[in-house]
Amino acid sequence: MRSSDEVLCFGQDVAFGGVFRCTAGLLDQFGRDRVFNSPITEQGMVGVAIGAAAEGMKPVVEIQFADYVFPAFDQIVNEAAKIRYREGTSGANLGGLVIRMPCGGVGHGALYHTQSPESLFSHIPGFRVVMPRSPTQAKGLLLSSILQSKDPVIFMEPKILYRAATEEVPIEDYTLPLDKAEILSQGSDLTIISYGRPLYTCQVAIEAAKQDMPGLSVELIDLRSIYPWDRQTVLDSVRKTGRAMIVHESMVNFGVGAEIAATIQETSLYHLLARVRRLGGWTTHTGLTYEKYIFPDITRVYDGILEIMQDE
């Protein structure tokens, strides 16, 4: 916001910092013309953001929880996603429009505070869908989304990491690429592809599996950008290791894992030494009592690693 007067920040309770205090202090620094609360209407706030972006502003609008975004789905799918295609190269492209939303499980979210709808948005051309795994990643990817992207961005933040992930975040400005996955650990036996919170689950499960399978070498990839995703990095890795497993928190049916698994199957079949595995949330609504049983945990990922390594 210091670098561009075009950047606006608004949403429900944003002016006093929001539910998760992500925007705390911005009102005092930049005033009510640029940081303000919106009425409780997701369709309205996204509609305002689209109009502002079409006129050259860079609105960062916060949906209080990803579960609340569905009333705005019409504005996102039928308006924002189509404007660049409709206007061509000479018209508005909505670059700088960012829709932020806390997503995923938190241990007590139940039906209306646990959803991760990234696969729904990834079906719609015109938007980028991004999910950072940590504070440093969040800063770099968010700055890229606001200041550099020519496409509007759905920026999904795993809410449990607001309190669980800690890092020393550089004070200076920096950006991270929106079209490049990151290899977190190199490996030669198995490729695990994930994003957001489950990356930490995967890291623990990998270390546990290594205790039972000495010499096991696992390559762990953080997609970072879910749509469009970095096919080349993933496919190069799978062709090297011969095995692939995709892990995500959102429901497994018609999910991100299905798209990645199909792409691997279509392009790298003869490099595979085992069937591609998908681990996701079970296909059910998330009741309060059962949340911890629905999302992939360390045991499920650990078991998946052992199974795929034994599947010749």
Active-site pick, 62, 79, 113, 118: 113
In a 3-state reduction of DSSP, which class is residue 118? helix
For residue 203, CA distances in Å to 10, 137, 199 come to 36, 17, 6
Compute φ and ψ for 9, nearest 5 degrees: -135, 120
Is 42 known to be catalytic?
yes
> Nearest to residue 7, comparing CAs of 70, 110, 98?
98
For residue 131, CA distances in Å to 5, 154, 183, 307 come to 26, 9, 15, 28
Active-site pick, 42, 62, 79, 118: 42
Is 108 known to be catalytic?
no
CA-CA distance, 60 to 142, in Å (whole number)? Answer: 10
Q: What six digits make up the tokens of 109?
A: 């979210």
Q: Which residues contact 129 (CB under 8 A, 6 or more apart)?
A: 118, 121, 122, 153, 154, 156, 225, 226, 227
> Nearest to residue 137, comparing CAs of 185, 46, 199?
199
CA-CA distance, 113 to 20, in Å (whole number)? Answer: 13
Q: In what order do the strands lie in the sheet with 190-194?
A: 182-185, 218-222, 190-194, 244-251, 277-281
- Catalytic residues, by residue number, are 42, 113
